Every structure is written in structure tokens, then in C-alpha cells.
Structure 1
Amino acid sequence: MNRARQAPRLRAARDAQQQVWIAFGGEADQLWLRPLRRGFRHCFAALRDEAGWTVVEPLTGRLLVARLAVPMEFDLPGFYARAGLAVLGPFAPGPVRARTLPTLLPFTCVGLCRAVLGAGAPFALTPWGLFRRLVKILKNDRKNVLTTGSA
């Protein structure tokens, strides 16, 4: 299968019923996070649909899923960016990936964000790795949008 064809795309995200933004940031509040790149020690997903915003954030020891009491038009990605987080999106969630065996990777913030993005999510082990791969997808998609419209 061609992974590039499955990747979350901007054009699809603009028309999707659900849109996903991934936010990156964090300080080393846990000792084991200190080796990770500063500013990219944690990531979480914000989803927008016709009813509003939902945040899915894995915290140490629990999973936070919160439906925010803000209107759908609220600029949540802008709010996070003004708070100092790096925010990428929108992405359209991909289809569910069928597996014959369960994944052997531990449950992390990166794994959760990849699961929210769906089958086309790029492989990454750290928030910085996921950020770099998603930036590459966004750059390629913007380039495709610019070149396909001028033909």
C-alpha cells in the first residue's frame, strides 16, 4: 500500500465532518521526559466537529477526554498557539487500520495522536518525531494544492 496516499490531508480536512489538530509542548514534569527535546515532550489532540471541540490528552496515569464548553467557531488552535504550544492541522482522521496482531508499542501521547489521525498517520516514537513528519505532510499537501490549481 502507498503510505503517502493514506496520509492525513489538508484538502480532505477542510471538507471533513471531523477535523483534528495536534498540539505539542510540555516541560519535563516527569523524570523520564527529560531526555526528550525541550518544547516537544508531550502532544495531544483537539478534534472539532459540528457540535464543538473535544480534547483527547493522555496524562500520567489517566486519559483525559473533555468536551469543551466553547462554540465550534472558537479558535482553539490559535488559543494553544498563543499559549506557546506548536499546533499542526487541520487533518482529516483516516480510516481504522485492521490488524491481525495488537501493537507492541506502549501507550504514549504519540501513540494516542497517531490513533486519532487513523491509518495514514506517520510512524513516530517521540513528539518531536511526530511533529517533523506531520510538518512534512503539511508542506507536501500545500505544494500539491498550489500546483494542481494552476494546471
Structure 2
Amino acid sequence: MTPRLRQAREAGQEVWIAFGGEADQPWLRLLRRGFRHCFAALRDEAGWTVVEPLSGRLLVARLTVPAAYDLPGFYERAGLVVVGPFHPGPARPVRLPGLLPMSCVGLCRAVLGAGAPFALTPWGLCRRLVRILAGNRKKVLTPSGT
């Protein structure tokens, strides 16, 4: 492993998941209002990165704001629901690839790591993440039993 890769893996990251969105696609109207989309904002010592799946493409943007900037507060003032911070859990080997199609929920779960709660909709993911924060204040998402 190169020193740069080792440093990137050891760097502490914090993850916030933001929920919101209007129905820009007709099928999104089936989802709960205000919870039709989710995306991840990651902070490390160098700054902020936003990972957002859009219709037909994936947006990954490194923002030109300092790491101390209150990006979750900005999103909350914009009317989004923001849950976090979480420290992503380690990767875990799996025998078979996931069978669910790529979605905003699946991408957010992948960013959170192997210990992320199972959910199919943004509302379901939000409920489970809030429960994690409210329950035992466990912010590091690790697989069950560890």
C-alpha cells in the first residue's frame, strides 16, 4: 500500500446524510414528501466532498469551502433534513454482489460502510439513522456483533 493510500484510509472522515427533494421524476411522487432523495456530504481535514446520485449520473464534487464550514447547517437552512455525523465503518467482504439497483439510498449506505442500516427508501434510511443517533449514541457504523 502506498503512503498516500494509507494516509487516505487512516484519515478521519465524518459523514452527514441529507434528505429532501421534490419529485423531478414521475415515479418519485410515490415516495414520502420531503424524503424523495438523499445524498452524502463527507468532511475530512482537507474539506468537504458531496456525493450525489442524480438522474442518469453520479455527481462527486469537492467543494471550495474550508473544513470548518458548517455545510450541514447550510443544508438545514435550505430546508433539508440532515442526519449525522457518522464515522464510516470499515469495508466488509461479501460473497455475492448486491442485487438491488443503484439508488440514492444504496449509494448513501455504501458511503456509510458495511454497518449501515438496511433501507429501501430515503424515509426508511432517515428513520433508521435517527434511531442509531438517539439510541445508544453509537456513531461508528460497524457490523453487528463487533
Q: CA deviation at 1:23?
A: 0.1
Higher helix proportion (structure 1 or 2): 1
Q: CA deviation at 1:141?
A: 2.7
Gaps of 5+ in 1: 1-15, 144-151
Counterpart Cα distance in 1 of 2:88 and 2:131: 17
Q: Is 1:92 the counterpart of 2:90 in the alignment?
A: no
**3-state SS of paired residue (2:79):** coil
**3-state SS of paired residue (1:70):** coil
Counterpart Cα distance in 1 of 2:43 and 2:136: 21
Q: CA deviation at 1:25?
A: 0.1
State which of 17, 37, 58 in structure 2 corresponds to 1:63.
58
Q: Write the mapping of 1:84-123 to structure 2, written as runs, cut at 5 A.
A: 84-123=79-118
Give the count of matched residue pairs. 128
> Highest relative contact order (Cα 8 Å, sep 6+), 1 or 2?
1
- Deviation per residue, 1:76-100 (Å, 9 max, x gap): 0000000000000000001112111
Counterpart Cα distance in 2 of 1:90 and 1:142: 11
- Find the counterpart in structure 2 of residue 80 from structure 1: 75
Q: Is 1:141 the counterpart of 2:136 in the alignment?
A: yes
Among all aligned residue pairs of Structure 1 and Structure 2, give the percentage whose two residues are the same amino acid.
Answer: 80
Q: Write the mapping of 1:16-55 to structure 2, written as runs, cut at 5 A.
A: 17-55=12-50
**3-state SS of paired residue (1:79):** helix
- The alignment's TM-score, normalised by the length of structure 2, stands at 0.86
